[in-house]
Amino acid sequence: MNKIIKRIAATLTISLTFSGTAQARIITSISPPGGAGQGDVLCPQVQTPVDTAFPNSNQNQINNFPGLSCTPKTFREIAPIDTKLFVEASGGTTGYLLSETVVNNTNSNWGGFNFQIGFQSDTAFGEDNFASPAVISVPRGFTIPTFDSDTTPTSSKFSQVKADGSFNLNWSGGTVAPGETVDFQFALSVPDDLDNNDFYNSFTIRQLPVASGVNQSQTVPEPSLIFGLLSFLGFGLIRKKNF
């Protein structure tokens, strides 16, 4: 499996090394959240517009994330909930401070909580269509959205947070019982993209509670998922070249 992942990552690296003019991104809208963690909850399919009052600065706020659909975010299962954020060019790196409330409607006490940034294909390949940047080899000078390391994340229930690289926040040092809520605040940095490649027009924040007594671990996507991501990204590259 490791050889397959390395080969796919190398392929993606090659596909991204074309020259291009750097452009920045701002968040324009947020899609309704979805995933196995919501159980049988049907979120209103309402796209939430994002007002970026200060492009290319770090003074922007997104309160009550994810927005108009399924706020607060309610977990009925110990499983992921994904929220897709759409972006467009602006001219510089833009920062956002996000706040949200999460409800534990499961039957388990939570001893931790994970946030992860990644990319999501609309075409299902295998059981999951989310891929972490951990399996993507990004060329030098190319950056994608990250959790902002200059802003300390906070939580109303968890006292400790570990930033595992730039794309993961792992919370611990607290408990959220069934029926309780927990508040989070964290910052995102949405940086330059390669204009000619148009690598992405959206990214995804995956959230996953950790039941008490369960070790926190990062799951590496199966090769079928990575093939799906490559197909999704490759389509964008091909479409860009054909117009």
- End-to-end, the C-alpha distance of the chain in Å comes to 36
Predicted confidence at residue 105, as pLDDT, reads 97
Burial class (CB in 10 A: 0-12, 13-18, 19+), 198: middle
More confident residue, 128 or 26: 26
Enter the tokens of residue 5. 């992942």
Please tell me the distance from the alpha carbon of residue 93 to that of residue 134, in angstroms, as a whole number: 22
pLDDT greater than 90 at residue 98:
yes
Please tell me the distance from the alpha carbon of residue 203 to that of residue 112, in angstroms, as a whole number: 23
Enter the tokens of residue 227. 């093939």
Diameter over CA atoms, the chain: 53
Predicted confidence at residue 225, as pLDDT, reads 45
CA angle 237, 147, 157 (to 5 degrees): 140
Least confident of 73-82, 100-109, 230-239: 230-239
Quick check: 77 and 107 in contact, CB under 8 A? no
Predicted confidence at residue 224, as pLDDT, reads 43
Taking CA atoms, 103 is separated from 42, 69, 79, in Å, by 15, 14, 13
pLDDT category of residue 71 using cuts at 50, 70 and 90: very high
What's the pTM value of the predicted model, to 2 decimals?
A: 0.78
